[in-house]
Structure 1
Amino acid sequence: MMALLPLLVLAFAAGIALADKFSFSYRGLLLLLLAALAAGIIIPNKKKHAAAVLLLLFLGQGMLAYQLAERALKQPLAPLWNVEAEYLGYVQDVLSSNAEKIQFDFYLEEAVLSGQQRLPVGALIRVSVYRSSFRPFYGQPLKLHGVIKAAPGQRNPGGFNYADYLETKNVSGVMTAAPRQITVLTGNKGKPLMTFFARVRAKALALLQRFLPPEEAQLAAGFIFGQTENITEELLTAYQRLGLAHLLAVSGLHVGFVTSLILFLFMRLGRPLLSYSAAALFILVYVFLTGGQPPVWRAALTALITLAAKQYGRESEGLQTLSLAALLLLYFRPLWLFSLSFQLSFAAAAGILLLAPRLQASLKWCPQFLASPLSVSMAALLGVLPLQAAHFGYFSFYTIPLNLLCVPVVGLVVMLGLLGILVGLVSAVLAAPIITMTLPLLLLLTRLPPFCLRLPAAALYLSAVHPLWWLLYGMVLLLLLTKDKVRLQTGKKLLLLLLLGCLLYAASLPCTFPRQLTVTFLDVGQGLAVHISTPAGQHLLVDAGGGNFAAGEQVVLPYLRAKGVSSLAAVILTHPHDDHYGGLPAVLSALPVQLFLSNGEEDNAAAFSDLLAILEERDIACSSVSAGYRLIIDNVEIKVLSPPAQRFSGTADDVNNSSLVLSLSYGDFSLLLTGDAESAALNELIKKYQGRLRADVLQVPHHGSRNALSAALLRAAAARAAVISVGSNPFGHPHAETLRLLAENKLAVYRTDLHGAITIVSDGKKWTIAAYTAP
């Protein structure tokens, strides 16, 4: 049975994955389970048949577990979607709390509907509050007035699915509340034990902030408790791109440090039972102090099983222990299967268990003290590489040497920090020297990664990897795992090498491109980002969003990676507003770019200075363009229609009116990109290009503002479809007058805030337009 356990876990996980993709009735699943049980009773002595039945049984159980978890998550809020009401409950978890944004998970106990009808609920929602002095804490009872909405799903190809992410956190919906919509009630509704852990965590964080500089205190909180929300973006990016992010996610490494510290302190008493019991107790305390995320639970369960085995004088088998931990976690939390932290944690652990011994055997030339950590780092990297490439899109050659250096340093920080915190719960004076001892280590850990990220080839951008490469990668790992068990004859070895060579050749062949133009308006919130793919596979980008979030990192690069884009023939910036250029630094840093075009104007903001510095650093050819400029790539022509060489001045908004207005044409198809041009520029355009502004598709200027679109422009363009690139904003975009004009002229209207990414495809004659999501 134990030898079969890893396969049973895989079957259970496969059942969860299948139920996520396909719909199965409860009756069908119950019939499957009953059939499997009956078959197991009928053929108990046939081992292979019994194993097959058992696998089928676990497959069905996984499917059933998923459906029950989905039902428990979504059913309580079913009558409350988009209903304005009063909601009573308490704060479950505080995610961020600063002057700009407060975000917390709220356990919703009861809803008070119109007419004072009370409805018991019992669900978790995520609440966001902006610019408020309100500071929530665990267990704080609140009354919220607002509307619960479903979290947004995936809005762009390759994009982040926020709804799926929240499901792995057991969060059913979202709410944005104004400070006036929050009423603080008296008392504390938190569970006593969890309230105790929340207070201990708050006191621990206060101790770190008291005895360490701000940046180092925030990093120490990341290492010890996995709290990363206050770590600077520069430092967090360095850790992510250099393969060090696992140090900031409490996992097996950290639980190992805690276990080592407790065993070191208690083993001196000469009582193994007391030592193992103390270690088990502290492991559980540490799990709850850190918030109980999938990686720490995985590590805690494997550590507890190992300690229990030692207590009874037995050795635990690593793969079986890991499988049992996975089965327990997925049984109680099936949706964790889709959590990236869960996947990375188990992939790294499996890589270490399966590959590290074989890699260490191959490092006989290396000193023993270095061979062991080197093989562990290499094995973990090989285990997580496919996930890292798919989700982060970067690879660093510095990952292994940096891990060899940083892992033991982080270990000292965790152990000294925890020791200082334990002492500090009794006396802050006695804790001061212990916590201060971590400062030199933390200074190294705050300075080294950003420095290394600036070195050549520190973080290599990876576009979408061909599936055949991953098949080849899996076959190589399989050969590495089975080389001692499977002895192949020379002929079979040659055939295998030939197969690998064919796969390698097939994966390296260039793709054949359909002779079509593809234009995609990405959903970057309140901003603009347009990707243009020419018929021969060249790629251009017009703007890259920005504004109040990192559109380049979070939207544009994941999209380009999913589309297999490894370079850009040209990047065009329409005008220097941050909701148009904010995402460009990330794109220009990651991808080779041949040409950068703009209207030549600049912004005084630091972010625009960063953009200029990257252009200079990467030696990208730059040109300032105006009306009359033409760019032709693969029979796709882009003409600049505005602004004129003499820029606009004295208008309502000179920066917007000086925005580049582009006409894109391919064969009989044409598209008019208006950027943020407003009435002054567009009226001049209509006069200058009388009868020559016709376009099949019109990008509605300035996100649909009132002062941009006019009936005259609609008549001049005679478009059949319009695209509005817009997001949540305080300006009232798109304006009701703009929408009325579009409706009166019978244009098909596509909005990125309602439809997600919008893609236009044309062969030069016919064209189609499609939305990524349904409104």
Structure 2
Amino acid sequence: MKTGQNQLIFINLLIAFFVLGIFCAGKLILPVWCFAVAFVILLLYAIWGLYKVKESAIYGLCLLFYCLGFIVCSEASLVSTYNISHFMNESVKIQGAVAEAPRITVGIDDSEKIRYVMEVKSVDKNNAPVFADGSMYVYVSQPVTKSVARIGDVITVTGVVKALHGYQNPGIIDIVASARRQGITARLNLGKSDVKITEANVHPFLRKADELRNHLRAAMKNVMSEADAAVLFAMLFGGYDGIKPELLDSFTATGIIHILSVSGSHITLLAGTLVWLGRVLRLKSSLLAVFVTLVILAYTVLAGCVSPAVRAAVMGILTFAALAFEREADARRILSLVGFLMILLKPQLIYDISFQLSFAATGGLLYLAPFLKCKLDFLPKWLAANLSITMAAQIMVLPFLAWYFNSVSVSSLLANLLVVPILEYVIVLGLAAGLFGLVLPVAQSLLFAFCSLSIGFAYEITNFIARIPGGSIYLPSGGFVSGIVYYLCLSGWVQYGKVKEMCQRMNWQHYRQVLCLLSFLGIAFFIWQYSKTQPLYVHFIDVGQGDAILIVSPHGKAAMIDTGGILNSDFDIGARVDLPYLRHYGVTKLDYLILTHVHVDHAGGAGSILRKIPVDHIITGRENRQEYAQVFKMGLENERGRAMIPAYEGQIIFLDNVKLEIVHAMDAVQGGTGNEVSNVIKISYGQHSFLITGDLTEAEEKQMIAKSAAMQSTVLKVGHHGSKTSSSQDFFDAVKPAYGVISVGADNKFGHPDQVVLDRLAQNHIRFWRTDEAGAIVFSSDGKRLDVRTFRGVE
């Protein structure tokens, strides 16, 4: 094997141990000083081993980098003693600078909902100002007529500091961890309280870039429709604000959603265009290199200098250099070193989806694309080059797509060949229009108008491709081990010749038979794993202030009781929380969707579920059907013609041998709407049962007791999110639960769960979990044994 290849393997091996140390630091609770001592010992051993030319020095270096990863990750997770997070749950006055362009959305009442990212400078508690640092989110709602702070302005706010909180479920991106990686450790909800704004210019470069972006957006809107302007702005600078949901769905389905974020491909496109322009102008190589570097740096600043843009600049230039100048070997070493430096400075980046996808895709272009291009040499060169680049990126990011999105777009090959070239052309024209605006406004308007036509044409093609049957394939979520196995197999395929040579050197005469046997055993193991009898799973999904329960039978049939939802909000719980959760657990179809009642916090996510996956039966409360249609935002029958059927008392449903029974339902057909009409569902399997009560009130609890309904259950879903209007002592006496679950949102405005209910649970020795503290809560049972696990590991 060549020396250069040996060096690259050795560098990657050290980085792998460094990453392993970071990963272990997030999982193990061990004193850092132990690793610091081990680091010093290993460092001395490695120096001695290298001086004596000992092969064992390699093992010392690997362990050295493992300890280094553990140490830097442990240190990076610490916050300073002055951090704003130390004032949690205290009412204080905070002063700081706006660090990013405010995110503004218009509410349904024409008010503006604003999210500031504030760099904290000082905290005033009881008229005693003290120095503080760190960053936090500040949320405020105000009339559109009020002024909004800009980047660099100093703002002063007063309120109670709260912890960051997101939806704590597997299958979705952890927005709390993502914010902490950016140094954001707290939040402040001001509601309609005033924000005192003091004009300043703390971040002059970022402010100027924001002003230029706003100027360009205004110029786009003067020529283009608002929707097309939003798309072009997103392609140039990132973000989804103002883009039609249909377009986002089409771009996602065809695997080209990345075009709406500043990525390495944007930088590579920009660099390639500049190199072509430089060659036309016959610039010297050194001058051209400086020119390209300066323009890319300017573009990165214009994009806001956000972390993804900075990483895209570094990796995009690297990718371009590798593919354009055929120096893949040098670029691979640089990629490894750049990646190492990034995670050395910010160890938690290994958990960042943007970093994972951009790094894996860049690795695919450098390692896999040349290999695939050789395999596709029977095709025309332009087609082989485009296909190899697209396939390489998709193949390398496949485990991440499976974990985060549970799907891969087969139609992305077609979209990358037909649509992406058009959109890349639009990006170049959009940037050119921005430059022309400085000297020739008429040319800018013409270019923006042409961009608008091109975007419309590209959308029609994308929409057509997205509707092709089988364009997207479901991928089950894979874990860490399956990812390692995948990349090892991929490496073995790409480096087959070297693997064969190594096996022959080791006298493996039957290496092909060994590989076949290992492959067979691996396939057999996965078949056995997925075919063996599973227990019943009952999932209480964290949907904030709402209810959502998923039931998966031992043979994979699935039903859902309620879906969660947020009143007066554009946030779609069904699309953003429920569906990712279902896909994460391999649920691509629901046999039943049962809704306790029509309130948005129980039925608001149902519309997206019905539009995206097959649902055989829909059972609702006996309420006004038109109200369900309004909550679903669709007709009374969905596109597959499945009608909504009102529940009736005594109705029994079987999922395999799991029994679902409606033990309480409102008698009056087309009755009123409210918590009092909540259906109550009992899930029974073997020796254990679950009672799902919706928002049942105390009055209806008494009715159930009077009817002597079959109420006794092992697990009780505590009624109405722990409100004191539910969960009476008589009801607990009738149900006799051993365990309880409270589905509730963190810091909700209703004060749920009420302390009276919490005390009553304790007095009855009922062990309970809350979704705001534990995240998703999953019970599993084989009919005899009952186990529970939570997303946050809360016991």
TM-score with structure 2 setting the length = 0.88
State the one-letter code of the partner of 1:654.
T
* Paired residues of 1:513 and 1:537 also in contact (CA < 8 A): no
* Equivalent position of 2:25 in the other structure: 19
Work out which of the residue numbers 703, 720, 723 in structure 2 matches 1:702. Answer: 720
Partners of 1:592 and 1:70 in 2: how far apart? 43
State the one-letter code of the partner of 1:32.
A
Partners of 1:90 and 1:464 in 2: how far apart? 41
* Equivalent position of 1:445 in the other structure: 458
Work out which of the residue numbers 226, 233, 245 in structure 1 matches 2:238. Answer: 226
* Paired residues of 2:171 and 2:403 also in contact (CA < 8 A): no
* Equivalent position of 2:543 in the other structure: 524
702-711 vs 346-355, greater mean Cα deviation: 702-711
Alignment gaps of 5+ in structure 2? 108-112
* Equivalent position of 1:454 in the other structure: 467
Deviation at 1:432? 1.1
Pair 1:744–1:725, CA change in 2 (3 A)? same
* Equivalent position of 1:487 in the other structure: 500
* Paired residues of 1:330 and 1:337 also in contact (CA < 8 A): yes
Partners of 1:690 and 1:736 in 2: how far apart? 29
1:126 is aligned to 2:137: yes
Pair 1:737–1:79, CA change in 2 (3 A)? closer
Instruction: Give the 5 Å matches for 1:264-663.
Output: 264-272=276-284, 273-302=286-315, 317-465=330-478, 470=483, 473-487=486-500, 491-511=510-530, 516-547=535-566, 548=569, 549-599=571-621, 601=623, 602-604=625-627, 608=631, 616-618=638-640, 623-647=645-669, 649=671, 654-663=673-682
Pair 1:226–1:60, CA change in 2 (3 A)? same
Partners of 2:480 and 2:328 in 1: how far apart? 39
* Equivalent position of 2:110 in the other structure: none
* Paired residues of 1:575 and 1:598 also in contact (CA < 8 A): yes
Work out which of the residue numbers 241, 247, 258 in structure 2 matches 1:235. Answer: 247
State the one-letter code of the partner of 1:205.
R
Cα offsets for 1:58-95 (capped at 9, x unmatched)? 33333332233222478623532222211111100135
Work out which of the residue numbers 42, 46, 53 in structure 2 matches 1:36. Answer: 42
* Equivalent position of 1:138 in the other structure: 151
Alignment gaps of 5+ in structure 1? none
Instruction: Give the 5 Å matches for 1:21-100.
Output: 21-45=27-51, 46=53, 48-72=55-79, 76-77=83-84, 79-100=86-107
State the one-letter code of the partner of 1:249.
S
Counterpart of 2:565 in 1: which secondary structure?
coil
* Equivalent position of 2:743 in the other structure: 725
* Paired residues of 1:152 and 1:161 also in contact (CA < 8 A): no
668-677 vs 333-342, greater mean Cα deviation: 668-677
Counterpart of 2:151 in 1: which secondary structure?
coil
* Paired residues of 1:469 and 1:507 also in contact (CA < 8 A): no
Report the aligned-residue RMSD.
3.4
* Equivalent position of 1:102 in the other structure: 114
Partners of 2:413 and 2:256 in 1: how far apart? 9
Partners of 1:369 and 1:309 in 2: how far apart? 17
1:9 is aligned to 2:15: yes
Pair 1:607–1:53, CA change in 2 (3 A)? farther
Cα offsets for 1:538-572 (capped at 9, x unmatched)? 33211111224322333333333343434433221
414-423 vs 69-78, greater mean Cα deviation: 69-78
Pair 1:408–1:633, CA change in 2 (3 A)? closer
Counterpart of 2:453 in 1: which secondary structure?
helix
1:193 is aligned to 2:199: no
Partners of 2:599 and 2:324 in 1: how far apart? 65
Partners of 2:32 and 2:789 in 1: how far apart? 35
* Paired residues of 1:465 and 1:564 also in contact (CA < 8 A): no
Partners of 2:617 and 2:410 in 1: how far apart? 28
Instruction: Give the aligned length.
Output: 768
Deviation at 1:151? 1.9
1:693 is aligned to 2:711: yes
* Paired residues of 2:97 and 2:155 also in contact (CA < 8 A): yes
Partners of 1:353 and 1:309 in 2: how far apart? 7
Partners of 2:240 and 2:457 in 1: how far apart? 18
* Equivalent position of 2:160 in the other structure: 147
* Paired residues of 1:686 and 1:716 also in contact (CA < 8 A): yes
Partners of 2:613 and 2:326 in 1: how far apart? 56
TM-score with structure 1 setting the length = 0.90
Counterpart of 1:349 in 2: which secondary structure?
helix
* Equivalent position of 2:217 in the other structure: 205
State the one-letter code of the partner of 2:356.
Q
587-596 vs 303-312, greater mean Cα deviation: 303-312
Pair 1:768–1:326, CA change in 2 (3 A)? closer
Deviation at 1:420? 0.7
Partners of 1:162 and 1:5 in 2: how far apart? 32
Deviation at 1:39? 2.4
Cα offsets for 1:354-412 (capped at 9, x unmatched)? 11111111112211121100111000000111101110112222011111222211211
* Equivalent position of 1:164 in the other structure: 177
Cα offsets for 1:702-742 (capped at 9, x unmatched)? 33445444454344434444433222544454456655665
Deviation at 1:191? 2.6
Pair 1:56–1:670, CA change in 2 (3 A)? closer
209-218 vs 695-704, greater mean Cα deviation: 695-704
Deviation at 1:427? 4.7
Pair 1:620–1:365, CA change in 2 (3 A)? farther
Identity of aligned residues (%): 29
746-755 vs 133-142, greater mean Cα deviation: 746-755
